[in-house]
Amino acid sequence: MTRQTGIMSSRIEADRLTPYDGLGELLQIHGQPFDPPNGYLDYALYGTAAEGPARVVLDGLEGDVTLSHGIHYLDELAAAGDWRRFFMEAGAIRSRLSGNMAALFGEYALPHVAGMPLMALAAGIPAIWRHGGTRSALRAVKRRVGSKTAAASRSASRRLLISSDLERTVGWNEMMRDEPHESPVSEQQAHIQYLKGAYVPSVLEFTHANARYFGLEARHPMFDLRLIKLAVGMRPGLKLHDGWNRYALREAVAGMVPDDVRWRPEKATLAPNFDLKMANLAKESIDVARDAGKSGLAEFLDMERFAELADRKRFRKLWPALVLALYLKNRDE
């Protein structure tokens, strides 16, 4: 930590860290296994901040949740049958943010087509064909005509990492069947659902516990209620505009943030560093997990599925299982 012009600055080189840094301490902090794969960054950031005199840390946590990327504006356009604007925005996303048109149509348009009145769809097919091409039009017709059959044949279960015994005990299939799966009909609805979901309180609980461990108090300016109200009430065209997500934010910081940053398509991702470090460390941790499987882990996990993911080096999917294995190992020692 160095002092420059009256400001104490610190630098954490995240690519020199590994997902296992501080993992033992994090398990002690929380007293249970946890899911976030970037806990090591929390540990490093708060540990470094604790070396300075400040006791309050302003954390930029989940500004994307507060502001919304605006992607569900596509749901809103599809539900309204505004196919010209749907394909205009989807095409701009494809060019600016490297999206895939077929995937965008499948995820944000087809769910609404399935329940659309036949007359409304018939009126919209020419526009879908004109702006989205023959394949999109055929997919729309097929989804609408076959919607009841598809819904009846769709399986509620998927290949899970948890064991079949645990799946039955907690009633996983029943929970999945009872959970609403309808696509949002507006960007605002999706925005509110995400803010009210389990993710926000869980990540705040995780972050606050990490900060307290180092004697710090974490505060989150991006979760200011006034900002949340402003963002939720914002018209969707200000969240997604001409293919740019978080458009209002990009415009709001004009003159304060360099344009090459303000208009970059996406922010950096931690995934490559995670995958690289896990590739170097995974053998030992997978061996720990397999040993734990002989003494309790199999009670929670499908060990055949675990072995399959390990062979395929799907470390991000394996991460919760590896954390659970280490937790059980430490508990039993």
Cα separation, 264 vs 237, in Å, equals 19
pLDDT on residue 255: 94
The torsion angles phi and psi of 210, rounded to 5 degrees, stand at -65, -40
In a domain, 187, yes or no: no
Q: Is 154 exposed, middle or buried (0-12, 13-18, 19+ CB in 10 A)?
A: exposed
Indicate the number of domains in the chain. 2
Domain limits at 58?
A: 2-66+196-225
- List the structure tokens of 187: 């960007």
pLDDT on residue 150: 41
pLDDT on residue 292: 60
Neighbouring-strand partners of residue 2: 9
In a domain, 149, yes or no: no
pLDDT on residue 142: 76
- β-pairing, 244-245 vs 240-241, is antiparallel
pLDDT in tens, the chain (333 residues): 555 556 677 888 888 898 889 999 999 999 999 888 889 998 999 999 998 888 898 888 888 899 999 999 999 999 988 988 999 999 999 888 776 788 888 888 888 887 777 777 777 788 888 777 777 777 777 776 664 444 433 333 446 688 888 888 888 777 766 555 577 889 999 999 999 988 899 989 999 999 999 999 999 999 999 999 999 999 999 999 999 999 999 999 999 999 999 999 887 777 888 888 888 776 777 776 666 656 577 888 888 888 888 888 888 888 888 888 888 888 877
In a domain, 136, yes or no: no
pLDDT on residue 144: 66
In a domain, 40, yes or no: yes
Cα separation, 297 vs 312, in Å, equals 20
In a domain, 29, yes or no: yes
pLDDT on residue 191: 95
Neighbouring-strand partners of residue 241: 244
In a domain, 32, yes or no: yes
In a domain, 110, yes or no: no
In a domain, 207, yes or no: yes
> Three-state SS for 56?
strand
- List the structure tokens of 222: 């991006």
Cα separation, 191 vs 229, in Å, equals 11
